[in-house]
């Protein structure tokens, strides 16, 4: 009997096909969530290292300086570059140390330059921003995709979600009345914010080994 060529040809062609994008995406998501316990454990250890504590202090100083360049569009909406320092904390020190440092930085910035009444919800948002950046960037290669995902999650869930809720509670205004102008700002600025974020973090990756080598050379007799 003659064999049907369709079965053999279909089997050989399917064997040579690469993994589908859907399978690659699922594998990437699986690897991401599987790695998180180790990421958080390693980040918590940063607290025990003197060099990390000193580094956190320097990045917080940068964050405080950047906060002076904030622009207040409305009473409930401000735009500024301080998110770059939060991303640095997350990338360098992880979600635990970076998140706690970002929350502490929010309190320090309020004490140095108060702007309206203090509300702990904003501090929680700052802390979670450090956690998000740390979860995606700590001990990982800085890629455009990681920057896009982390910054988009922060803009959508933290800036538009939580911060709008905090402003609604604090100022007694309707949630959606505050949300609409914030949507325009967060969506319009997102591409520029991602470009600046990626450029800064890539520059840090290049410069950090040089800085560390110079510091070691100075300590050597």
Print the domain residue range for 144: 22-219
Question: Is residue 11 assigned to a domain?
Answer: no
CATH number of the domain that residue 113 is part of = 1.10.1760.20
Q: What is the pLDDT of residue 11?
A: 46
Question: Is residue 9 assigned to a domain?
Answer: no
Q: What is the pLDDT of residue 215?
A: 56
Question: Is residue 154 assigned to a domain?
Answer: yes
Q: What is the pLDDT of residue 17?
A: 44
> Which residue reads 């979670």 in tokens?
128
Q: What distance lies between CA 139 and its chain's CA centroid?
A: 13
Q: What is the pLDDT of residue 219?
A: 57
Question: Is residue 110 assigned to a domain?
Answer: yes
Question: Is residue 113 assigned to a domain?
Answer: yes
Terminal CA-CA length for the chain:
85
Q: What is the pLDDT of residue 30?
A: 86
One digit per residue, the tens of pLDDT, for the chain of length 221 reads 444 444 444 444 444 445 566 778 788 888 888 999 999 999 999 999 999 999 999 999 999 999 888 887 766 677 889 999 999 999 999 999 999 999 999 999 999 988 788 999 999 999 999 999 999 999 999 999 999 999 999 999 999 999 999 999 998 999 999 999 899 889 999 999 999 999 999 999 998 877 666 656 555 55
Residue 71's φ and ψ, nearest 5 degrees, are -115, 125
Q: What is the pLDDT of residue 28?
A: 82
| CA–CA gap between residue 113 and residue 67 (Å, rounded) | 9
Cα 7-10-15 angle, rounded to 5 deg: 125
Question: Is residue 5 assigned to a domain?
Answer: no
Distant-in-sequence, close-in-space partners of 75: CB < 8 Å, separation ≥ 6 = 116, 171
Tokens for 54, please give them: 């000193």
> Which residue reads 């690659």 in tokens?
24
Distant-in-sequence, close-in-space partners of 12: CB < 8 Å, separation ≥ 6 = none
Strand locations in the chain (E): 71-74, 77-79
| CA–CA gap between residue 32 and residue 24 (Å, rounded) | 12
Q: What is the pLDDT of residue 8?
A: 43
Question: Is residue 145 assigned to a domain?
Answer: yes
**Number of domains into which the chain is organized:** 1
Whether 196 contacts 143, CB under 8 Å: no
Question: Is residue 2 assigned to a domain?
Answer: no
């Amino acid at each position: 009997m003659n064999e049907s060529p369709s079965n053999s040809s279909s089997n050989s062609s399917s064997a040579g096909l690469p993994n589908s994008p859907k399978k690659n995406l699922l594998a990437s998501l699986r690897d991401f969530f599987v790695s998180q316990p180790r990421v958080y454990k390693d980040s918590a250890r940063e607290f025990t290292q003197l060099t990390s504590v000193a580094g956190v202090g320097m990045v917080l100083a940068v964050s405080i300086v950047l906060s002076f360049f904030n622009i207040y569009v409305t009473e409930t909406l401000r735009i500024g570059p301080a998110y770059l320092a939060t991303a640095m904390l997350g990338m360098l020190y992880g979600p635990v140390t970076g998140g706690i440092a970002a929350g502490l930085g929010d309190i320090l910035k309020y004490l140095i330059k108060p702007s309206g009444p203090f509300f702990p919800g904003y501090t929680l948002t700052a802390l979670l921003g450090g956690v998000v950046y740390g979860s995606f960037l700590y001990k990982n290669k800085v890629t455009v995709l990681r920057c896009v995902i982390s910054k988009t999650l922060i803009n959508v869930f933290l800036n538009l979600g939580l911060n709008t809720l905090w402003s609604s509670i604090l100022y007694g205004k309707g949630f959606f009345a505050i949300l609409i102008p914030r949507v325009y700002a967060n969506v319009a600025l997102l591409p520029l914010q991602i470009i600046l974020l990626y450029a800064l973090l890539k520059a840090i990756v290049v410069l950090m080994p040089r800085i560390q080598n110079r510091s070691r050379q100075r300590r050597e007799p």
